[in-house]
């Protein structure tokens, strides 16, 4: 990536690693994530102005636990350790790390011992987010304690000159008061970074990069109707014009009227798009498939077959455009130690051998919020960009059990009612996601004087900043009452509506 200043985030397995990288970018400094055991040459080849070591689930005193290479430790590059990263640095530099009598999880008060450094501009006491059991009992020789938690444990320290700094709490999470200021103090006060990660400049550079990379070839793109593939297509169209041919496959797993609305948007964006109705093929392939990962793989396989047939009709195509994002790469296990594969991503991992196309992934280094901002720069309608995330396999992973056309139609109607009422109450933009799930669970009901035996709809609504963690939304009772009554009265096949009150963790946002 052609930027003047950058920071490398070394991943020790924390659930917050991506969030650290995003917060750095929000401060207009480019960041990349590498595994903690990446070769020092790989880290140094990026000429980072700073290195941030993430948290992680291990104890730094365990055999085989993540540690920083001596070469990086002695490189002169400023280093910031967060949570586990702090304990690891303390241990490697000659301090003492022990298991505390009790853990610190969640909100915690911190008192400043020595103002300045990372805590320049902080009040004497502030609230942070902790998530640890081990603690630094003694800081390394020559280091000074910056702050302590309510229990007296070290909450921050730095070596002389601040080249090595450490925080026991998580500055990247929203629950930490002035967390962004701590990161800014590191980036600009310690590392001397400049704000060079500007997305308007990125668009201009990427348009030129696509033109150079593609040359006179044609590019094809499988549009999903989502934000990522749409922004990738608009960006590429800006670079090569009508040499981009897009294929929008209606897999029969979309929301109510979605195919029509998406095509209307693509027409306004002047994209060259062909729509293919392959719903029968997808639903036939999904007969009898109930296991979530099997659904995803089945849908992916059928999509590849349909797309290959349609793309073969585009003469001169040499490239396949994909809306791959940075989290897709990391979460699929292709980057970062400890990044477990929770769900497979259909747009990561290469192409089948029979598709002799080179892959074009202009958004591969970006996070979701950055893609939305780029979409706005490119003129994608605001309403389209603000749509809630929708899973690649569509309603197949919200229709639990076997996926059949009749059950999908029931789910579509219930979900449409929920979306209408959420919008009517003015809550759509304040929610990260809100949708209905159809359970293959029948219960007895009564409508009028008639006994019913129908399925159950679940309302799933969550609040989140990035989808990595989420809390269930406290929807107004009046709204829940209206949605429940409308679904039961208007959607044949559902006679019971329940509310999901589980956060992430322990649950995922989607049910499958």
Annotated catalytic residues are 83, 170, 172
* Ordered DSSP codes for 35-59: ETTS-HHHHHTT--SEEEE---SS-
Total residues belonging to the chain: 512
SS3 497: strand
SS3 252: coil
The answer on whether 237 is annotated among ligand-binding residues is no
Neighbour count for residue 45 (Cβ, 10 Å): 9
Which residue in this structure is represented by tokens 């280094």? 365
- Kindly tell me the number of DSSP H helices and DSSP E strands found in the chain: 15, 18
Chain-centre distance for alpha carbon 510: 13
Which residue in this structure is represented by tokens 């349609």? 310
From first CA to last CA, the distance across the chain in angstroms is 35
The answer on whether 312 is annotated among ligand-binding residues is no
Give the chain's radius of gyration (CA, Å).
Answer: 25
The answer on whether 430 is annotated among ligand-binding residues is no
Which residue in this structure is represented by tokens 């052609």? 2
The answer on whether 227 is annotated among ligand-binding residues is yes
Neighbour count for residue 507 (Cβ, 10 Å): 15
Which residue in this structure is represented by tokens 């006060």? 189
167, β-bridge pairs: 82, 156
Neighbour count for residue 159 (Cβ, 10 Å): 19
The answer on whether 224 is annotated among ligand-binding residues is yes
The answer on whether 225 is annotated among ligand-binding residues is yes
* Ordered DSSP codes for 385-450: HTSPP--TTGGGGTB-SS--HHHHHHHHHHHHHHHHHHHHTT-GGG-SEEEEEEEEEEEEEEETTE
Q: How far apart are alpha carbons 186 and 168 in whole angstroms? A: 15
Residue 255 DSSP one-character state = P
The answer on whether 229 is annotated among ligand-binding residues is yes
Hey, which bits of 214-329 come out as E strands?
A: 218-223, 244-250, 273-277, 317-321
| Structure token pair of residue 407 | 């059950």
Going by the annotation, the residues of the binding site are 224-230
Going by the annotation, the residues of the binding site for ATP are 224-230
């Amino acid at each position: 990536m052609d930027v003047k200043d950058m920071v490398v985030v070394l991943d020790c397995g924390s659930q917050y690693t991506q969030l650290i990288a995003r917060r750095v970018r929000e401060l207009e400094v480019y960041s990349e994530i590498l595994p903690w055991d990446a070769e020092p040459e790989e880290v140094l080849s990026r000429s980072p102005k700073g290195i941030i070591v993430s948290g992680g689930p291990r104890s730094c005193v365990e055999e085989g636990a993540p540690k920083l290479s001596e070469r990086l430790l002695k490189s002169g590059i400023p280093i910031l350790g967060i949570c586990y990263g702090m304990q690891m640095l303390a241990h490697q530099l000659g301090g003492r790390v022990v298991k505390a009598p009790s853990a610190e999880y969640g909100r915690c008060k911190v008192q400043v011992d020595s103002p300045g450094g990372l805590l320049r501009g902080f009040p004497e006491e502030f609230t942070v987010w902790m998530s640890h059991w081990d603690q630094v009992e003694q800081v390394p020789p020559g280091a000074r304690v910056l702050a302590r938690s309510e229990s007296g444990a070290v909450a921050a320290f730095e070596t002389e000159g601040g080249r090595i700094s450490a925080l026991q709490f998580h500055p990247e999470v929203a629950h930490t008061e002035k967390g962004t200021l701590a990161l800014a103090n590191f980036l600009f006060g310690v590392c001397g970074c400049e704000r060079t990660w500007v997305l308007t400049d990125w668009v201009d550079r990427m348009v030129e990069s696509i033109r150079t990379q593609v040359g006179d070839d044609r590019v094809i793109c499988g549009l999903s109707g989502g934000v990522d593939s749409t922004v990738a297509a608009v960006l590429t169209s800006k670079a090569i014009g009508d040499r981009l041919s897009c294929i929008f496959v209606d897999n029969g797993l979309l929301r109510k009227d979605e195919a029509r609305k998406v095509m209307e948007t693509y027409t306004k964006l002047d994209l060259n798009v062909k729509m293919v109705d392959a719903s029968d093929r997808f639903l036939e392939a999904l007969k009898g498939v109930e296991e979530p990962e099997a659904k995803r793989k089945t849908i992916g396989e059928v999509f590849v077959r349909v797309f290959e047939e349609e793309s073969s009709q585009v003469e001169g195509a040499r490239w396949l455009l994909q809306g791959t994002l940075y989290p897709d790469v990391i979460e699929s296990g292709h980057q970062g130690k400890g990044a477990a594969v929770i769900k497979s991503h259909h747009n990561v991992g290469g192409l089948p051998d029979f598709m002799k196309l080179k892959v074009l992934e202009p958004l591969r280094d970006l996070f979701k919020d950055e893609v939305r901002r780029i979409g706005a720069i490119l003129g994608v309608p605001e309403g389209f960009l603000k749509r809630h995330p929708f899973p690649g396999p569509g309603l197949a992973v919200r229709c639990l059990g076997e996926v059949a056309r009749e059950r999908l139609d029931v789910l579509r109607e219930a979900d449409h009612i929920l979306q209408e009422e959420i919008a009517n109450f003015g809550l759509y933009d304040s929610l990260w996601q809100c949708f209905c799930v159809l359970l293959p669970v029948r219960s007895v009901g009564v409508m009028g004087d008639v006994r019913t035996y129908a399925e159950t709809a679940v309302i799933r609504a969550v609040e989140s900043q990035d989808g990595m963690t989420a809390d269930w939304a406290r929807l107004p009772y009046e709204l829940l009452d209206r949605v429940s009554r409308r679904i039961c009265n208007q959607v044949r096949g559902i006679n019971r509506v329940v509310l999901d009150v589980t956060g992430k963790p322990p649950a995922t946002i989607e049910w499958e």
